[in-house]
Amino acid sequence: MPSMGALRVATNRCRTALVWDEAVVGYDLGQGHPLAPVRVELTVDLIRRLGLLGGDVEEVLPGELDEADLLRLHRDDFVATVKRLSADPSAPCDPVYGLGPGDTPAFHGMHPASMLICAASREAARRVWTGEQDHAFNPAGGLHHAMPDRAAGFCVYNDPAVAIDWLLEQGAERIVYVDVDVHHGDGVEVMFADDPRVLTVSLHESGRFLFPGTGHVEDIGEGDARGSIVNLPLHPGTTGGIWLDTFDAVVDPLIRRFAPDVLVTQLGCDTHATDPLAHLALTVDDMAAIYARLHTLAHEAAGGRWLAFGGGGYQLVQVVPRAWTLAFAEMTGGRLDVETPMAWREFALQRTGTAAPTSFTDAPIQLSEAMHEQARRAARDTVEAARSLILPRHGLG
């Protein structure tokens, strides 16, 4: 790959908000936890150093979230427990609430930090819905595993669900939520499982191999909302080409037919081949292609309204900042040099002790032909099942 040059990201300049408050780094599950806040710090620093902000592209604060908005989706006894442990993380807690040793430990300031992330996602939704911006991005958001009654999978409160709920309250009639995180977007799916106004789509590593063990292709919803849940489980070793073919075969036509008022996306980048917690085989170049598809669909199917959150991603220096900066550049219509800024690499080294990548591109992924073929067959089976179970319910062949 060349060390310098122009990397084309998007074609049109769009009014875009980056919703950010330095205080979100208070969402810190502890030293050594995979969901380290430094990954979003490095992302925002990279966006700033590249000059992607300015003019119609603004960095904005989250604003305040009323607890009543949180309680529309999260049970009051669970929220009360989070508040209690937020003041004293060592206090006893019933395991039913999902807080304690393991994936989601309690931490000091947990409630206000979680509320702030929800406020940022709600503010992103507000800016898109009111037309102040075309697109909005909350890189600290995307906590998609949180359930109404418990924390799960590093997630305390479900900020994508809070944003979607707010949009529905404002009069949105049709919303598509697309989750490209390597883990099934189970919390958002659960919160809107009975609401046919919300089409939840999750492309993820199969639950046979990965947390949370859910998201089977046969799970399509019940009753009036049957067909409003779309799960596309993928096999370990799935490459970008296989992933994109799956998206093109099922997700693209569905979004176009559903014609949402807003396209809402969770952009977890733990699908990367080097992610330590999962087993897919995408590159940041593949992720750039995903973001380009989502951008096209936002304009061609959702009136240009695109709301995006971060999510998973545990290569804190090597992948997350590059992936989400590529996403933000796609949203804004910005252009990037292939080479990452030296000043950013120095900052990343200073903050983490890890050498940062010099390029926005990755080398090709090398997989055995047997693994590639296994992933390709599994994806074909998933596509065939989804096309049979889902597409006819939306008037598609």
In a domain, 88, yes or no: yes
* Cα 343 to the center of its chain, rounded Å: 27
What is the average pLDDT across 54-63?
A: 96
Q: How confident is the model at residue 6 (pLDDT cuts 50, 70, 90)?
A: low
Determine the structural domain holding residue 126 and report its residue range: 6-394
Mean pLDDT of all residues belonging to the chain: 96
Task: Tell me the percentage of the chain whose pLDDT exceeds 70.
Answer: 97
pLDDT of residue 7: 64
The percentage of the chain sitting over the pLDDT mark of 90, rounded to a whole number, equals 95
pLDDT value at 355 more than 90? yes
d(CA 259, CA 255): 6
Cα gap 19→44, rounded to integer Å: 10
Quick check: 11 pLDDT over 70? no
Q: Torsion angle of alpha carbons 214, 179, 315, 52, nearest 10°?
A: -170
Look up 279 and say whether it is catalytic: no
Predicted confidence band of residue 73 (pLDDT cuts 50, 70, 90): very high
The domain total for the chain is 1
Q: Is the pLDDT of residue 86 over 70?
A: yes
| Beta bridge mates, 263 | 176, 306
| Confidence band of 397 (pLDDT split at 50, 70, 90) | confident
Q: Is the predicted pLDDT of residue 4 greater than 50, yes or no?
A: no
pLDDT value at position 9? 59
* Rounded mean pLDDT, 222-236: 97
Per-residue pLDDT of 182-214, as tens digits, reads 999 999 999 999 999 999 999 999 999 999 999
With a cut of 90, say whether residue 2 has pLDDT above it. no
* pLDDT of 163 higher than 90: yes
Residue 1 domain flag? no
Is the pLDDT at 178 greater than 60? The verdict is yes
Q: Quick check: 40 and 140 in contact, CB under 8 A?
A: yes
Q: Which residue has the tokens 């936002």?
A: 298
Please answer whether residues 114 and 104 qualify as being in contact, where contact means their C-beta atoms are separated by less than 8 angstroms: no
Q: Is the pLDDT of residue 93 over 50?
A: yes
Q: What is the CATH number of the domain that holds 282?
A: 3.40.800.20
Mean pLDDT of 140-149: 98
In this structure, are strands 336-337 and 6-7 parallel, antiparallel, or unpaired? Answer: antiparallel
pLDDT tops 60 at residue 121: yes
Catalytic residue of the set 135, 145, 204, 295: 145
Nearest Cα to Cα of residue 350 among 42, 22, 32: 42
pLDDT confidence of residue 13:
80
The answer to whether residues 229 and 197 touch, using CB atoms and an 8 Å cutoff, is: no
Cut 0.85: pTM above it: yes
What is the DSSP code string of 185-230? -HHHHHHTTT-TTEEEEEEEE-TTTSTT----TT----GGGTTSEE
272 pLDDT higher than 50:
yes
Is residue 325 packed enough to be buried (19+ CB in 10 Å), middle (13-18) or exposed (0-12)?
buried
Say if 293 falls within a structural domain: yes
pLDDT band at 346 (very low <50, low <70, confident <90, very high): very high
d(CA 297, CA 123): 22
Residue 291 lies in a domain: yes
